[in-house]
Amino acid sequence: MSEQKKNGKTVIIICAVVIAVLLAAVIYLLMNRKEEEPEKRNVVVNRDNVEDVVDGMLNREYVEPGYYSASMTTTWHFAAGDAISEDAYVANLEENTNDVYFDIFLEENEEEAIYKSPILPRGSELGSIALDKPLSAGTYDCVMIYHLIDEDMNTLSTLRVGFTIIVEQ
């Protein structure tokens, strides 16, 4: 058997294994997906419910100070380069420990931001976003850099997230 055919079969086998692993991961994630919980409101504590409230507080997901749990859409569509996106969404979850702001850069140019967000306090969200620097039609690989800040607006840490921007016209 020629070396080229041998290499071709090896590549096909590796691809098949990768596809099988990815398929298994997708099935696992779909099977273990949690249903959305209804909006929670603050509870007035009294003698009858104090144990339930304390249990709820103790079992709540904890995000360590200086860390950040990102909640955002990973593909943003714009009808035109200067239009407002209807599916762009970023939230600073209540469970996070810090306020945050973010800057968006094209993946190949992290010197010039195409969008600079306002500060998002914990529990707030931002949607209907228009870019600060309009882009021409196309698909862009981008990087969002979150800045976790303290009360004095000093950056405590940063988080980098890749996502895609699609401009239709």
155-167 and 99-106: which strand pairing? unpaired
Q: Strand (E) positions, the chain?
A: 70-72, 75-78, 84-92, 99-106, 109-116, 124-130, 138-149, 155-167
Distances (CA, A) of 43 to 46, 55, 57: 9, 13, 11
Q: What's residue 132's pLDDT?
A: 95
Q: Do residues 28 and 85 share a domain?
A: no
Same domain, 80 and 161: yes
* Same domain assignment for residues 82 and 152: yes
pLDDT surpasses 90 at 89: yes
Count of other CB atoms within 10 angstroms of residue 28: 10
Q: How many domains does the chain have?
A: 2
Q: Is the pLDDT of residue 88 over 60?
A: yes
> Is pLDDT larger for residue 149 or for residue 41?
149
Backbone angle region of 66, left / alpha / beta, with phi > 0 → left and psi within -120 to 50 → alpha = left
Q: Which domain holds residue 2?
A: 1-34
**Mean pLDDT lowest for which of 60-74, 119-133, 148-162?**
60-74
